[in-house]
Homo-oligomer: A and B are copies of this chain.
Amino acid sequence: MKTKELILETAKELISEVGYHKTTTASLAKRANISEGTIYRHFESKEDVLVHILKDLDARYARFVEGLLGQGPICLVDEMLRQHLAFVEENSLAIKIMLVTYKLIDSAREVMESVVARLSNFFSVCLAKENDNHRLQDISVQDAAHILLIFLFALTRAKLYWPDLGDLTEPAILFCRRGLLRE
């Protein structure tokens, strides 16, 4: 693994464990078995490390959504949620970081907004299709997209932060179908 990647991976672990402010450049260097100075050979600042982690997440998510949309016309609520939660699982560390930093650090907020915009747009597209098929309950596509959006974040947080609640995926999918779609 290249040094730069090593720093990023280590930072992901550390920040998701203890938070951005409690992750010091000293602790990061120690955990990665490099010197503090080396961090600054690869990144402009501590915040820059964070930005790289989040920008990378944003890019992965962009590819993920592209992949989903390219799969064809099928775009069911079930599938959408299931796949998203799989994405969450694969990118849990970076997502954890995004969710706790976007209110605290400006550069993180921008990335969060980009992800949210992409996600929101994706849901709108999918739900518009369902609406065309008259499968949507009487709710505006936009409201439905927003509700789906925040509900997905809720599930994400449940998965990442409250694993004690158990795996809510299946009942949640059922709940969403009933809540949004006609039989």
Interface residue ranges, A against B (CB under 8 Å) = 18-19, 21-22, 100, 103-104, 116, 137, 139-140, 143-144, 146-147, 149-151, 153-155, 157-158, 161-162, 165-166, 168, 171-172, 174-176, 178-180
The reply to whether A154 and B165 contact each other, CB–CB distance below 8 Å, is no
Q: A143-B168, A146-B165, A147-B171 are in contact. List 11 more A-B contacts (CB 8 A).
A: A22-B104, A139-B171, A146-B166, A146-B168, A146-B171, A147-B172, A147-B175, A150-B162, A153-B154, A154-B154, A179-B179
- The complex places the Cα of A161 from the Cα of B102 at a distance, in Å, of 10
- The complex places the Cα of A170 from the Cα of B158 at a distance, in Å, of 23
Interface of A is mostly: helix
- The complex places the Cα of A161 from the Cα of B103 at a distance, in Å, of 8
Distance between A180 CB and nearest chain B CB, rounded to angstroms:
7
| Residues of chain B lying within 8 A (CB to CB) of residue A149 | 165
Complex partner residue of A155 from B140, B150, B175, CB under 8 angstroms = B150
- The complex places the Cα of A162 from the Cα of B155 at a distance, in Å, of 17
| Residues of chain B lying within 8 A (CB to CB) of residue A178 | 137, 178-180
Q: List the number of copies, as a whole number.
A: 4
- The complex places the Cα of A26 from the Cα of B44 at a distance, in Å, of 15
| Residues of chain B lying within 8 A (CB to CB) of residue A150 | 151, 154-155, 157-158, 162, 165, 168
| Residues of chain B lying within 8 A (CB to CB) of residue A116 | 162
- The complex places the Cα of A180 from the Cα of B172 at a distance, in Å, of 10
In the A-B complex, the 8 residue pairs with the smallest Cβ-Cβ separation, listed nearest first, are: A179-B179, A154-B154, A150-B154, A175-B179, A19-B104, A21-B21, A143-B171, A178-B179
List 7 contacting pairs A-B, 8 Å CB cutoff, sorted by A: A146-B158, A146-B171, A154-B154, A154-B157, A174-B179, A175-B179, A178-B180
